[in-house]
Chains A and B, each alone.
Chain A
Amino acid sequence: MIAEIFRFELREQFRAPLFWVVAILFALLGFALMSSEAVTLVGGLGNVNKNAPVSVVAAMTVLTLFGILVITMLISAALLRDFDQNTAELYFATPIKPRQYLAGRLGAALVASFAIYVLLAFAMYVAQFMPWIDPAQLGPKSIGPYAWSLMVMVLPNLLFTGMLLALLAVTTRSILWVYIGVLGFITLWAVSQTLASNLDNVWLVSMMEPLGIRAFGRTIRYWSAAERNVQLPALTGYLLGNRLLWLAVSALLAGAVFALFRTERTGSRRGWRKHKRAHVPMVALPAKPLPRIQPVFSASTHLRQLWKQFGFDVSGVMKGIPLIVMLLFGLVNFIGSSTAMQSMYGTPIHPVSSEMATLLQGSYSFLLVIVVLFYAGELVFKERQAKMQDVTDAMPVSNWMPMLSKLLALVGVIVLFQAIGMLAGMLVQLAKGHMALEPLTWLKILTAGCVPFVLMGGLAFAVQVITNNKFAGYGVIVLVLIAQAAFGALGFEHKLYNFGSWPNAPWSDMNGFGHFLRGQLAFQGYWFVFMAAMLLLAAAFWVRGVDGGWRQRVRAAGGRLRGPLGIATVSMFALFAAIGGWLYWNTNVLNQYHSSDDVEDLRARYERDYRQYENLPQPKVLSSNVDVDLWPEKQSMTAEGRWRIVNPHATPIQDIHVQMGDMRNLVSIDFGGQVLKLDDKPLDYRIYRLDKPMQPGEERDMTFRVDYHPRGITNATAQTQFVENGSFFNNRLFPQFGYDPNGELQDRNERRKRKLGEPRRMAKLEDTSARQRNYLTDDADWIDFATTICTAPDQVALAPGYLKREFKRGGRRCFSYAMDQPMLDFYAYLSARWQVKRGAYKGIPIEVYFDPRHAYNVDRMIESVQKSLAYYEANFGPYQHRQVRIIEFPGYASFAQAFANTIPYSESVGFIADIRDRDKVDYVFYITAHEIAHQWWAHQVIGADVQGATVLSESLAQYSALMVMEKEYGRGNMRQFLKYELDRYLAARGSERLEEQPLYRVENQQYIHYQKGSLVFYRLRDELGEEKLNRAIRRFLDTHKYPRPPYPTTLDFLRELRAEAGPGQQQLITDLFEKISFYDNRVVDATAKKRADGKYDVTLELHADKRYADGKGKETPGRLDDWIEVGVFADGGTGKERDQRVLYLKRHHVTAANPEVTVTVDALPTEAGFDPYNKLIDRVSSDNRKKVVLR
């Protein structure tokens, strides 16, 4: 019996065209994922192959999430078809048992679903053999990963989602509710993901996530590229736990499905709410005649009808279950996410309105896409769905009235939805004790946030009207959505042909939407006119009365278009074309438009044509004096520079090669007589032949003038450097000399496509020629610096150096700065309206320039500056400047950057951090300390432009900041911070694009010089002691202060370090700096025995292992000869680690893989640890501690 039901159902499933549409779509997607560059889901990064086993698994697993929508279709078809088509009673009047029916139907639906994934796997497998794939991106082609994915990930996920959907289907018997349930599931899934950013609940999140995506991600998080390319995870730990848990849940769900399945007619059982459906008979007619009221038709009648219909439609939508469900899910998602708002290190941020509004957009408002698409269809077909069209179409209303009112209703729903979100957002702010609600900020951000939905809704509406078929309409809109995403990926990046795209205006509390709004509004206007034109066209196709088919509709539309409607439509399309032409003139004539492919081609040509000049001797700057005239109101800047340059080389300089950085704004340049020999406009590369060559050692003055002013609207977001409030730019806008290797194409695959060979790497540590320049610039060593900057009368402008003079010139406010000692050729200008807070350290003034709304952490920053200066002066040497300035700039970039005595600090990285909770990482304090440390590490000593250079600036700054933090917060709190550093280091090395380097050869890889740097130096401090380490660092600094070529390298640093370290620590330094080493340490067993004297003997069976990895992650065993901490702890009463009492903590010399240690402690031990504070780089840090068993 089951077999027959199964067979019949499977045939039905395979016969449905939708099944094949979806199956082919999935197969195409899989094929594209594997064989094209344009489509990516996961993996394919850097050294990870396109067909790496983990990439295959990840892609197939993530597709089970998208696939839920498909499975919903198959499952609900199998279970609800008979109830929908009223064939149920035919079935259940036969002798089949409900469970046979259910098992057959469900089984067939699941098999059909599984078939889709088998097809997907097949398409992905076949795609690897396509000839156009770069073979370097492919590993061995094996069936294994596909089979593994299908069995371990896809099948359990199908069982779980299938049973969940089946449960929804049998309990609600409504496809709408099944879909609502699916939506809810996906929303809750997304919410659960936001909780995952906190490192403390890894286990919980890995287990809780039913599809295993997170468990899988967690398992491979620390895998190197080499491992990712050949291995599949073992079925243990997170993964096994997760799979078993959800298989068990699936079994429970299946039980519930069978238990709750009913065969009765819908509504024949007693429901939880009584449905009144009583009949009121028509009794005798009252004698009273009807009043004769003559309707009035005047001009205002139309408006009243419109208003009434609008209100009627809006309330109809707002009362609809799908909308309410979506609203509730959105709110749950938003409020859930708002509890986990943070930017770094798990530290929360203040719920300022701009952040809340942005969060609202991402977690709540995005649902409006579904809302408008769904309700565009619902509204257009509202009357016809209710079979009321004959009544309403015969009403005396104008032809345009119903369409206009529905359109307005759609807009009204968007506005209402956003307003509800705003209200919720404000309540959340108040609940968090944040009183500055800034309604204007909310309104601006949310109003701008409505536009995409209005455009999408309008287009969907027009499409629904024109196609006159709800599902065709949905289909067209889904195609539009796909095109929106695909165009960019395929290299069609111009916004003129991608519906609903525009140069996005980023929000900054300091600068609002600023001048970015112009471009955004212009493009939005363009698309708005397009939408209006489409709607007018649609109005011609609006069906009133009986729908007589396409031919009749086209004829009717033709008739309507011959009137004023046609004139309006044509004019609107003409306006669209005119705006498009104007925009094209702006983006492609006034400005330059390059697709990213074009840009890559240009960079390839740059390398081909000019690399020959790489080693051409070029002058160096000795002093710089620049007059800057900044116009924040007009986002313009002109500068006149006078530089003194020298020829430091042994040969004369005949040609000077000049390039500009991001902006091509050089108006004139004069080296004292020259001819422009080559002017490569597309690359902005110029060669000047000097009238009189610069002789070796010769100095001369040169001048230049740059002039930047915006020229209309650009296709990309406008420049972020000159803005109304918060300009921030640096000397990259001034001329640069010679070929710049940084201009070369970096991406390995893009290079291979253009036959450029391997990407350039940093010069080898041993390369002596590269030591002639520092890693910041080749254009100068140390310069004398003075500058004048004029800005808007209500703004302050800042630059490195000390204020010499403030004056007015032509109504502008001007400031002259000069530095009293040589500094790096690296300076920035800032201008804004700030509030200033002052402090001091030993007579050194400290100033923080900040936006008045962002005063939260300003005092903390000043404190950090004071404590940093104190530590650094005591341990490394004097601070070279007489002033420290921290300056807030708009969050168009999220970093802080140290210039001489000047530290621009983004509004998005610390100004709104909520550091009131002392348990959280105070990254405001840390970042400030790090930037102050750069005044020593970069501005006093700077490395040569070779491998390892950033150790001397970034890693040393990390170490310095760690020490200041430790003094402030104590050793116990450092682990909180270092845990994040360890996690980020281990996670980032898996996606290394080229080659992981040991620390002393780091090639500007951030995860190495920051994260690994922190770990290495902190361990070094533990082993050598703070005093010894600081002595070595100080000696290095003293030897190399303000270096001239040849610049120092890590070899110089390691020499000092090794000199300070004992003979037993030399291997440690090798392991930390010169090798990539990992430990696998764990407590195997910990037992305690009470002694007669009341003390306890704790016996620990430990496991230790050290391995070395090469740049691709291939590992070899290392020899254990390390000092590793062993600790025994007693419960502090709270169960929290930080309250534990340390009974024993001592470094042990470990030379064997399985050491056994017995220690005696005074009190009852609860936990024992081997490297309990995770100071060693260990990929499984959770097994370093174990509960002690008392015998």
Chain B
Amino acid sequence: MLKLQNLTKTYANGVRALDGVSLEIPRGMFGLLGPNGAGKSSLMRTLATLQAPDSGTASMEDGSGGNIDMLRDKDVVRRQLGYLPQDFGVYPKVSALDLLDHFAVLKGLTARGERREMVESLLQQVNLWDARKRKLGTYSGGMRQRFGIAQALLGAPRLVIVDEPTAGLDPEERNRFLNLLAEIGERVAVILSTHIVEDVTDLCQSMAIMNRGQVLLTGSPADAITALDRHIWKKRIDKTQLESHRGRFNVLSTRLVAGMPVIHVFSEDRPDEGFEQVDPGLEDVYFLKLRQQQLAA
């Protein structure tokens, strides 16, 4: 569906936000995983026509066998795009209904009847129907996020880009929200960026891990996890041992369990007696890739 090749972007302050990013993104949910500052948002803004890369290409299938040059034919991309930025605001004094209607016109829904049907149905879908006439300034963070997804789904987007959409949502809301996304993902390409690993595991058929502007891994989450089978070891240690373990083993993560550090270590064989083997998770993949990059640097 989407094909990105060698996208590069260096900001004025010298930060390399994208460093030769090449990706193939199929239809369905695509998870983009990475720590803060990994370049996820830069990549998404580039795909959302908001930022031009210094070099590289990006193309998108147009649904009838042809290809769209995403970097040049921005207008064409925008007509099929739904975008929910990571950090967005609203006009506080406008009601949800009015603003959504306004956006609908901008999205090309100019026929009044159709637009109304679409807007009302979306407001019901994200469960803002009862609050549709309230000023957006009075919305809670979760409601605002739902409004954001509603506007991203206006029209008939073939490409939906959502940047860390679940930040600020409570667990219940997060679930509902992801369900909605998954439902949409059945028909179109949905690119979802997050630093919450479970979101990707739960939802995405394919994914990429990014850091420092580079793609560290791409493929399906299941394959990535399977590749680590029997290589992840866990040990509960004392705080004082932490430093020495770090020196001796390939420690992927440290987590406190009941006040005691539990470490995950990547190793072909059992590192020492205290370790027990655990089933790998996507988190282990994630940390391993980051660590490998760190070591390589």
> Could you list which residues of chain A lie within 8 angstroms of chain B, going by C-beta atoms?
275-286, 288, 290-297, 300-301, 304-305, 308-309, 312, 316, 319, 382, 386-388, 390-398, 544-546, 548-549, 551-552, 556
Min C-beta distance of A943 to chain B, whole Å: 72
Q: How many residues of B contact A (CB 8 A)?
A: 62
Q: Quick check: A292 and B50 within 8 Å, CB to CB?
A: no
Stretch at the interface among B125-133, B211-219, B228-236, B275-283: B125-133
Closest to B108 in A: A295
Interface bits B190-220 vs A (CB < 8 Å: 1, else 0): 0000000000000000000000000000000
Contact B12 A396 (CB under 8 A): no
- Contact partners of B180 in chain A: CB under 8 A: 285
CA distance A394 to B124 in the complex (A): 24
Q: For residue B49, which residues in chain A have a CB less than 8 angstroms away from its CB?
A: 393-394, 545
Complex: A552 Cα to B52 Cα, angstroms? 10
* Contact with A386, one of B91, B107, B131 (Cβ below 8 angstroms): B91
Do A308 and B79 have beta carbons less than 8 Å apart?
Answer: no
| Assembly CA distance A305 to B146 (angstroms) | 24
Q: Does B93 contact A (CB under 8 A)?
A: yes
Bound CA–CA A548/B11 (angstroms)? 7
A282 x B176 contact (CB < 8 A)? yes
CB <8 Å contact, A386 and B89 = yes
Quick check: A393 and B50 within 8 Å, CB to CB?
Answer: yes
Asked whether A290 and B88 contact (CB < 8 A) given A297-B79, A304-B105, A398-B75, the answer is no
Partner of A301, one of B89, B94, B108, B118: B108
A387→B121 contact, CB < 8 A: no
**In the complex, what residues of B have CB within 8 A of residue A305's CB?**
105-106, 108, 110
CB distance from B2 to the nearest CB of A (A): 16
Which residue in chain A gives the minimum CB-CB distance to B111?
A296
- CB <8 Å contact, B45 and A280: no
Beta-carbon nearest neighbor of B131 in chain A: A280
Contact of B105 among A308, A552, A556 (CB under 8 A): A308
Q: Return A276 CB to nearest CB of chain B, in Å.
A: 5
| Given known contacts A285-B125, A286-B124, A387 and B89 CB-to-CB distance under 8 angstroms | yes
Instruction: Using CB atoms, name the residue of chain B closest to A385.
Output: B89
- In the complex, are the beta carbons of B126 and A545 less than 8 A apart? no
Cα(A397)–Cα(B180), bound, Å = 27
Tell me the complex Cα distance, A505–B52, Å: 51
B49 to chain A, nearest CB (A): 6
- Distance of A304 Cα from B156 Cα, bound (Å): 19
With contact pairs A312-B102, A394-B81 given, residues A280 and B128 touching in the complex (Cβ less than 8 Å): yes
Residues of B within 8 A of A551 (CB): 12
CA distance A545 to B140 in the complex (A): 26
Contacting A at CB under 8 A, from B45-81, are 45, 48-52, 75, 78-79, 81
Closest 8 CB pairs of A and B: A295-B108, A545-B50, A387-B89, A390-B85, A396-B78, A308-B105, A279-B140, A396-B79
Q: Are A288 and B142 in contact (CB under 8 A)?
A: no
Residue B151 is within 8 A (CB to CB) of chain A in the complex = yes
In the complex formed, the residue of A with least CB distance to B176 is A282
5 A-B pairs besides A316-B94, A548-B12 with CB distance below 8 A are A308-B105, A388-B88, A388-B89, A391-B84, A397-B106
Contact across chains for B102 and A282 when beta carbons are under 8 A apart = no
In the complex, the answer to whether A280 meets B127 with C-beta atoms within 8 Å is yes
A1081 CB, min distance to chain B CBs, angstroms = 65
- Contact A295 to B107, CB < 8 A, known contacts A280-B130, A396-B75: yes
A282 touches B85 (CB 8 A): no
Can you offer 23 A-B residue contacts whose CB atoms are under 8 A? A276-B134, A283-B176, A285-B125, A290-B125, A291-B118, A295-B107, A295-B156, A296-B111, A297-B108, A304-B110, A305-B105, A308-B102, A316-B94, A386-B91, A388-B88, A388-B90, A390-B85, A391-B148, A392-B103, A392-B106, A396-B81, A545-B51, A545-B52
B117 at the interface (CB under 8 A from A): yes
For A294, list chain B residues within 8 Å (CB).
Answer: 155-156
Bound: A290/B181 CA distance, A: 12
* B179 CB contacts on chain A under 8 angstroms: 285
CA distance A393 to B52 in the complex (A): 13
Task: Contact check, A301 vs B91: say whether CB atoms are below 8 A apart.
Answer: no
Interchain nearest-CB distance for B188 vs A (Å) = 11
Q: Give CA–CA (A277, B106) in the complex, Å.
A: 29
Residues of A close to B48: CB separation below 8 A:
390, 394
User: Is B173 an interface residue, CB under 8 A from the partner?
Assistant: yes
Could you tell me the distance between the alpha carbons of A603 and B165 in the complex, rounded to whole angstroms? 78
How distant is the Cα of A1147 from the Cα of B70 in the complex, in angstroms?
Answer: 102
Is the pair B79, A390 in contact by a Cβ cutoff of 8 Å? no
CB 8 Å contact bits of B25-56 with A (1 = contact, 0 = none): 00000000000000000000100111110000
